[in-house]
Every structure is written in C-alpha cells, then in structure tokens.
C-alpha cells in the first residue's frame, strides 16, 4: 500500500463535486430523483477484499496392501516429490513388507478373478432390445471367458504384502469478492461490479495462505483500510484463502488480494429505504450502486 491509495478513498464531498448522481425512482417521481439532494441518514466507510488465489495441495494416505511381486520396487522408496501446479492422483508402492506368497484375492483359481461385467457367465443381456426376452451377446470385458486377470497379482497368482501411498495432488482456484455485511441485493450488485475490475497495485493487500502458527487467528478488533472498515470481510477472505485446495499439505500457493474502499449510504425516503454503495473505479470515476434496503444487514 502506498500514498497512491488515497485516490481510491471515496467521500461524500468528492462524490457531490464529481456530479455523478445517486439516482433513485419512486412512485411519486416516476422519472427519478437524485438522492444526493438530501443528506444520507447514515454513512459508513467500509472496505471489500478482492481475492484471486490458486493453491496446490497434496494429500498422502498410507496403506498396507497386497501387490504383484513384479510391480515391487527393487529398493524401498519414498513418496515422490510434487511437481508444482501439476494435479495428479496416483498410488505408489513404497516397499515390500514380507515374502512372496500365493495371492489371497485369486486363491480359488490362481491369476484369475470372476468378471464383474457379466458376473462370470461370459455373456451379457441386451437392454432396450425390442424382443429382449433372452437376447444376450458375448461379454466384451472377458471375451466370454467369465474371468479376467487378477488386478492384485497381475494374473501371476503370486503377491507380496507392501506399503503403499495414495498421493493426491490437487490444484484449486478461488476468485471472490468479500464484503462487510450489507443487504443481500446491494452485496450481490457490489460484488459483481468489483469482481469485473482490474485492481491497481496500490490497493494490494497481504493475505497469507499458510495458517498462523502457535497462536489462534485473532484479528484486530476492527481492521481497516485507511479508516475504511473491513468488518468481517478480511477474516473471511483469510480463512477462504487458507481453505483453497481443501485438505492436505500446501505445496505452493499464489495469492493476490486487494482492498477496495467504499461508502455505504442509507436514505430513509418515502417508499422503500435505499442502500447505496459508492466507490472510485480504476479510471478514477465515481461508481454508484443503489439497492432497496429491505432486509436489514
């Protein structure tokens, strides 16, 4: 954040000077009127947090299994090093845990297990056939044999206990605008407007993807951006960034975040009350979002 941030801080005076109207319509003035002609009933300085994040996480689940002797590594090995930003799900055999023995999965007929596609009959029933009475055709999975090679021992009938790991590398993204509590309508409209912007470097805000160590994530009571209150937006943004990619160890993360200050104005006028958000856009122009304040936030 630099001094340059000051040009993005909105004020009612500057909004009035800009000549941008805060347009609202009402039944008694069908062509609308400018809310700026009257004083707002309340004015709050708030800040939204725009987050664009990407994270690569790895979840490793260790398992003892039975595996084909010829799949076993010659030397015990460890879980492979992750390749940053490469998503993959793989099972890795780490080491043999005991001597080769008869495969327990296919002990009835070594190397073979019943075909699950045809249930071992070698033929499958045709569905949706007009005269489907007893029409069958050869099973494409086992070519009528009724059995397939055992996947545990690769059809050899011989297997070995082994340690293995399921290595799940996930790459996830998060793109979201977090705003302090507003009426639902205003929140939706403001988030859509802010999401479409290309935020400037002077509004960059640090968010850490790593959980804080040693202490609980206690935020300052009222964190602000140059006096514009984040409410719970900053805390929610931080929590969301830490959750990108779900469970597992963080391999690498790319987190970009920006603060965007805005004014929240409320006008009690005849008919529905109005809730207004005002912010300065990338071009330095005042932008106005008007909503009915029908649900209290």
Shortest gap between Cβ of 192 and Zn ion (angstroms)? 54
Question: Which pair of tokens denotes residue 222?
Answer: 């009222």
Residues that bind Zn ion (CB under 5 A): 103, 105-106, 115, 117-118, 139, 141-142, 150, 152-153
Start-to-end CA span in the chain (Å): 30
Q: How far is the CB of 134 from Zn ion (least distance, A)?
A: 17
For 138, residues 6+ apart whose C-beta sits below 8 A from its C-beta are: 122, 123, 124, 144
Measured from the CB atom, is 18 or 121 closer to Zn ion? 121
Between 22 and 159, whose beta carbon lies closer to Zn ion?
A: 159
Instruction: Tell me the closest approach of the beta carbon of residue 160 to Zn ion, in angstroms.
Output: 11
Give the E-state strand segments of 154-229 in sequence order: 158-178, 224-225, 228-229
Which residue number, 152 or 164, has a Cβ lying nearer to Zn ion?
152
* Mode of pairing for the β-strands spanning 42-68 and 136-138: unpaired
Sign of CA dihedral 126, 131, 134, 138: negative
Segments in the chain forming alpha helices (H): 12-18, 184-195, 233-243
DSSP string for 65-123: EEEEGGGS-SS---PPPP-TT--EEEEEEEEE-S--EE-STTTTSTTEEE-TTTTTSSE
Closest CB 98 distance from Zn ion, rounded Å: 16
Least distance CB 112 / Zn ion (angstroms)? 8
We find the least distance from the C-beta atom of residue 176 to Zn ion, in angstroms, to be 48
Instruction: In angstroms, give the least distance from the CB of 69 to Zn ion.
Output: 11
Q: Which is nearer to Zn ion, 113 or 255 (CB)?
A: 113
Token pair of 113 as six digits: 């297990």
Closest CB to Zn ion among residues 15, 142: 142
With respect to Zn ion, which residue has the nearer C-beta, 49 or 106? 106
The dihedral through the CA atoms of 116, 117, 119, 121 has a sign that is: negative
CB closer to Zn ion out of 137 and 175: 137
Both tokens of residue 220?
A: 């300052």
Task: List residues bridging with 53 in a β-sheet.
Answer: 174, 255
């Amino acid at each position: 954040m630099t001094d340059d941030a000051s040009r993005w801080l909105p004020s009612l005076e500057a909004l009035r000077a800009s000549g941008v109207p805060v347009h609202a319509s009402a039944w008694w003035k069908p062509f609308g009127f400018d809310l700026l002609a009257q004083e707002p009933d309340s004015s709050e300085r708030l800040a939204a947090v725009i987050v664009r994040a990407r994270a690569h996480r790895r979840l490793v689940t260790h398992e003892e299994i039975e595996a084909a002797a010829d799949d076993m590594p010659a030397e015990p090995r460890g879980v492979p090093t992750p390749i940053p930003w490469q998503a993959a799900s793989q099972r890795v055999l780490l080491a043999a845990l005991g001597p080769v023995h008869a495969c327990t999965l296919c002990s009835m007929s070594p190397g073979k297990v019943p075909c699950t596609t045809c249930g071992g009959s070698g033929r499958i029933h045709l569905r949706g056939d007009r005269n489907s009475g007893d029409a069958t055709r050869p099973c494409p999975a086992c070519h009528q044999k009724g059995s397939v090679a055992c996947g545990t021992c690769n059809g050899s009938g011989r297997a070995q206990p082994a340690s293995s790991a399921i290595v799940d590398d996930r790459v996830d993204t998060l793109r979201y605008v977090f705003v302090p509590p507003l009426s639902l309508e205003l929140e939706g409209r403001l988030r859509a407007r802010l999401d479409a912007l290309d935020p400037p470097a002077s509004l960059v805000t640090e968010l850490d993807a790593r959980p804080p160590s040693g202490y609980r994530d206690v935020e300052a009571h009222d964190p602000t951006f140059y006096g514009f209150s984040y409410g719970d937006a900053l805390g929610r943004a931080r929590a969301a960034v830490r959750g990108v990619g779900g469970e597992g160890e963080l391999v690498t993360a790319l987190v970009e975040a920006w603060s965007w200050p805005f004014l929240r104005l409320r006008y009690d006028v005849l008919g529905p009350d109005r809730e207004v958000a005002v912010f300065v856009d990338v071009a330095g122009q005042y932008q106005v979002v008007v909503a009915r304040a029908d649900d209290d936030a």
